[in-house]
Chains A and B, each alone.
Chain A
Amino acid sequence: MSRLEAKKPSICRSDPLTGERARASLAALKGLVMSCYGPAGRLKQLHNGRGGSVVTTSQSAALLAGLPVSHPVLKVLTAAVRNHVACFSDGGLFTAILCCNLVENVQRLGLAPTTVIKLNKHLLSLCTSYLKSEGCACRIPVDFSSTQILLSLVRSILTSKPACMLIAKEVDHISTLILRAFLLTIPENAQEHIILGKSIIVPLKGQRVIDSAVLPGILIEVSEVQLMKILPIKKSDSFKVALFCVSLSGDLSDTGEGTLLVSYGVSLENAALDQLFNLGKQLVSDHVDLVLCQKVIHPSLKQFLRTHHVIAVDRIGVSLMEPLSKVTGTWPIGSLGSISPSSYGSVKDLCIAKFGCKHFFHLIPNKTTICSLLLCNRNDTAWDELKLTCQTALHALQLTIKDPYALLGGGCTETHLVAYIRHKTRNEPESVLRDERCSQTELQLITEAFCSALESLAGSLEHDGGEILTDSKYGHFWSVQANLPSAVNWPDLPSRCGCGLYSSQEELSWSFLRSARHPFPPQTCLSREATGSADTLTLDCFTAKLSGLQVAVETASLILDLSCVIEDTN
């Protein structure tokens, strides 16, 4: 008996932002992401409360992936951040915090959403055009002829994730490996269009971080039992490879619906196996040296191939298929019928390698832009975090090739931008007021909300109760101990600013970050000597941060513009 139930009407709620619950949820989310930010950020344990695996993380990618939110406003926000992270890897927390700050600050003002959105958009374009301009003093050009800046960029990303549990020596080691892995993916003779290769991260949990390594080519993990059955590899210049994406296990996978009637004495299994043997014979007669299969190869077929001196490796997994096909120049074979000779490929060398307790089958291709990053860490949680971080760093390097700039990190870009915007809107408001048709007060209020959102973002780098200062020359970020006696003559000022570019040796005057003060023009134009002198800078990925800024402002505008939520309760 089937039952029909009438559909419930949808629920419509107006002004989703004004409710107490919305405010509390937003504040909770903001607290969560803010406490994760930066190298001293606090970690979060994600688990299902029933003994499932525990993720310890301070990265937006892992955090938001495991954080199902119910409030529609939060859904919009987290979706935007996750989308940004999917495209740029880096800057997720930056985006989330800035967006929360903007929504909160602007909401307090109670201005009409249209004005707010218009002005926020204007301020955003002010920021982006400044960041993209030649005179921008918070970005530095990346010099690809030396590793210094690239290493600094990678190191900044690694150190900003404390859950990787790395010590200084290990940070250096992993940064070098990431850079090497990245360089191995760049083709040697690049024409106009560079097609970057791929770095495959191979897990090796339980080992020391310092045992991590980068190898050109592809590593396929094989079990010890399987390894024993692989014949000693004969020396040769080149090995002919056949790559299968179809299962060679000899099963009848697709029998369709309904029942298949087979008369007594007929064995479908044997028929399938005969077909496999025919395939095997063809492979042998085509002088294939190596058969790789994404899925399972029937043990009897493996045995057949072995007696004919063909190496067979199965259960490679779908993730390695694309790089394997690229590296060997094969077309993955998807049928058990006859194989066209053009689908075969080749590799230069094969060997068997052992790392830790795992055995690998190492394929060394002829020309390679593919490498394997063998990543070790002591425990699973830290390994997962390190893997995500390495992927972020590799992605940041790729983005840097496209846009060869890096932004100053450690909060300096934010405080510098704040100084720039304050100065700009105070001194040249006419164009804005004319274009956007708003009042001077409205502009002032929105600018203040925007700037304080950025400042509070920079301020969330501090988690241990320190104070943040900014100087009135460069507008950079300086961190000091709390409760120092006088604001004029700091006894033990930090020696360097947040990004490490400037030192306190210069005659600078400081003030508290969120204190009211007269706008000043931050010194634009970065001197070349300054970037060269500092040996280790804290840097951020230019493209990722720029996009994060845009996503944050646009999402905040979208959220502020929400007037009604319609929920389907069926």
Chain B
Amino acid sequence: MDCRVINRRRHTGLQQLSSFAETGRTFLGPVKSSKFIIDEECHESVLISSTVRLLESLDLTSAVGQLLNEAIQAQNSTYRTGTSTLLFLVGAWSSAAEECLHLGVPMSLIASVMSEGLNSCIEEVESLQVPIHSVCDHIDSTETFSGLSVSLYPSLQIPSGTGLVQKEHDLKDVTSQSLAFCSLSGRPVKSPQLFRLQAKFEADENISRTPQTLKNNLLADTHCRKSVLTHSRHFSRTDRHWISKPRGFLEQLSAAAPKTYSCSNLAELEVGLSHGDPSSMRLVDEAVRLQHQNAGRQRGSHTGLFPFDISRIFTCCLPGLPDTLSCVCPGYITVVSMSTATLVKELQNQPVRVVLVEGDLTENYRHLGFNKPANIKTVSESVKVQQDSSEELWTDHVLQVLIKFNVNLVLARGNVSERLAEKCTDSKQLVIGSVQDSVLQAFAEASGAVQVAYLTHMNENCVGSGVSVTTWRSIPSDTIDGISRMAVVLKTEGINLVTVVLTSPVIAQMQTKEDRFWTCASRLYYALKEQKVFLGGGAVEILCLTHLQSLAGQSVNKGNQDCSGWLHNTSSWLASSAALYRPTVLKCLADGWHRYLSTLLRNTAVYSSDSEAATSIQCHLQNAADSGSPSSYILNEYSKLNSVILNLGISDKLEPIPRVYDVVTPKIEAWRRALDLVLLVLQTDNEIITGLAHTQKSSQESEGFLFL
């Protein structure tokens, strides 16, 4: 065993963290630039645009890399959102901690003051929480997500088939609007830029529109056409007003009293949480509405809280189909081989009886925990030679059982024996393998079926009924294996299951699309679950920044009660000399927020350089400090955005104004996780590598190692 001393002044762990974090910088904010990751050895490449996928492709075998991966995986598995924030802040704060070390601040003080500072920020940003009041009460009566976004974000309503380049423009527009509170007050320069982008976009759209409308699309067509109309009516008007608005006008408005916010409309909430990804959010919206309708039907009336059950949403990815086919359907949509087409057609017009299998559907599958003894040999006593193999016997047995119980549909969680599937197709039984748990469960609830481990042990009670099987559409054959497939819809009356079909002509984008859908869905899920959201678009971070700066300015350490664990009631000299170092550490922590905000602004392409972004942030900080109450200043900025839009052209529509929202707990947890990781690495001074023989190291490598 050996151990390596991590140098105190040049903390290698912190440096590693910063360099890891640097790779994910472009994923921050609503406009994400994708990355190609190329494997040098086998020349495979992946297109990624999220932190989690990025980490999957990085070499994280170092101890610090492992810890980073662990932190991000934990955030992702708990909340499915906030990982980019986490990664970025890890980088920003590890640089901040290193900076403090350079300035000679005792390590224990860095840890304790930073943790105290962040806690103070978390308390401070509570003022920017927006309660969600029974958004689901009017879920049927109010306009849908798409309707609202048409009128408010004219440029958003592109049909999803228009291609990648265009989409980026589209997203930039959303962002510039969503971040408008940052840019409105002092930067009229921005507007022409915005206009240019939008104009270009409009032209593009008109070109690509025509072939699209000619296609006979299932769902998207009518509302796409509508959106184009709305689009062209609002778009130029809003924008020109924006350009021509007088400067003084804005300042006059900024004097308005702070407004208390609440969000009581689901569509508004969704627009705010879409974070520049309206197409995914639209699918989430449809899924929520479907679930709600279903829940209403089940209970008879709309009573009380409607829980958005994310576990009963299922995604089905169909690469190779145009984007416009993305849709949300009740029931279960899955892909089956084309060879079952005739069977599906036959089953189409009748209620079908179903069995659910909770494992593989193969002869030698045994449930978990079953140990098959290896030393058993079957001997035949009679002279008659058995021709059939045991698999054939098993297949026949299964078929007999299925016929006996009149079952035409088998859903299995695991793999299905090919031979069995073939034979079943011949005898008019559709067998589908690799079905998710939640899907099986939904079918169990809706059809009355009971999941079984072995078909050969089933009885009448296990069979469910009333499932309908219909063809959804055929799918162009895969370029890889050339087998043509088709998608089928399976559903029963009142099934609590919604399938979101995600399509993309670009196969490499499929994964990204699915990830983005789930991110949007989880954001909405947590917002509804917690009944509150943050004002987004950088508002919370700005408040944290101003708060830390004012804390650093305070000479008295009144916020000392929240330092990490031990320092507040300790007698160590560190406690008494904390006041000396506090401003330095808090300033470094605040610099982390500053980097976060400026990267956010840079990534949205509103600002072309860091210095421009910094100026804008500085301007807000100054204003906030001058106003005396930073939180009411920020709230005011929000109402300003509100008034500006109301006075510019769409005043005839008295609809709620969209704001950017963000989820509360996932965001705060991402901050805490980021700081925890940085502090954990900061306080580590030795790396102990176990189980490595001395001989495996060259003398060069073993420099800086101690052996015990």
Contact = CB atoms under 8 A, between A and B. Distances in A.
Interface string A159-170: 110111111111
B688 A249 contact: no
B450 A303 contact: yes
Contacts of B115: 167
A315 B690 contact: no
B379 A47 contact: no
Nearest to A50: B61
Interface stretch (B39-47, B126-134, B556-564): B556-564
B119 interface: yes
B695 interface: no
B708 A296 contact: no
B37 interface: no
Interface stretch (B92-100, B138-146, B150-158, B568-576): B568-576
Contact of B74 (A171, A206, A494): A206
A70 B708 contact: yes
A567 interface: no
Contacts of A252: 373, 376
A303 B452 contact: yes
Nearest to B66: A54
A69 interface: yes
A171 B115 CA distance: 14
Interface of A: 24-25, 28-29, 32, 35, 39-40, 42-51, 53-54, 56, 63, 66-71, 74, 158-160, 162-171, 205-208, 224-225, 228-229, 247, 249-253, 255, 257-264, 268, 273, 295-296, 298-300, 303, 306-307, 314-315, 356-357, 378-382, 410, 462-467, 478-481, 492, 494-498, 500, 536, 538
Interface in B509-527: none
Nearest to A255: B373
Given A43-B684, A167-B562, A68 B1 contact: yes
Interface string B432-454: 00000100010010000011111
Contacts of A357: 78
B61 A298 contact: no
A31 to B, nearest CB: 8
Nearest to A258: B375
Given A70-B708, A260-B375, A492-B577, 12 more contacts: A32-B686, A165-B679, A167-B563, A171-B566, A228-B441, A249-B367, A257-B375, A259-B376, A264-B386, A295-B369, A378-B676, A464-B574
Contact of A479 (B1, B106, B454, B571): B571
B255 interface: no
A28 B680 contact: no
Given A379-B74, A382-B676, A40 B574 contact: yes
A349 to B, nearest CB: 26
A500 B575 CA distance: 13
Contact of B380 (A162, A228, A263, A538): A263
B388 to A, nearest CB: 12
Contacts of B61: 50-51
Contacts of B111: 162
A492 B453 CA distance: 74
Contacts of A314: 369
Contacts of A381: 67, 70, 680
Nearest to B8: A42
Contact of B683 (A63, A68, A162): A162
Size category, B interface: 35 or more
Q: What secondary structure prevails in chain A residues at the interface with B?
A: loop
Given A45-B684, A255-B375, A410-B571, A296 B67 contact: no
B372 interface: yes
Given A42-B683, A46-B690, A299 B1 contact: no
Nearest to B454: A300
B654 interface: no
Given A168-B562, A224-B437, A466-B574, A45 B688 contact: yes
Given A46-B690, A68-B1, A159-B565, A379 B706 contact: no
A253 B371 contact: yes
B612 interface: no
B444 A228 contact: yes
Most chain-B CB neighbours within 10 Å: which of A28, A224, A295, A500? Answer: A28
Nearest to B369: A296
Contact of B367 (A66, A167, A228, A299): A299
B676 A165 contact: yes
A494 B376 contact: no
Contacts of A496: 571
26 contacts: A28-B706, A28-B707, A32-B686, A35-B685, A40-B108, A42-B684, A46-B690, A49-B692, A51-B60, A54-B70, A66-B688, A67-B688, A70-B707, A70-B708, A162-B564, A164-B565, A168-B561, A251-B370, A259-B375, A260-B377, A262-B377, A303-B452, A379-B74, A464-B106, A466-B573, A479-B572
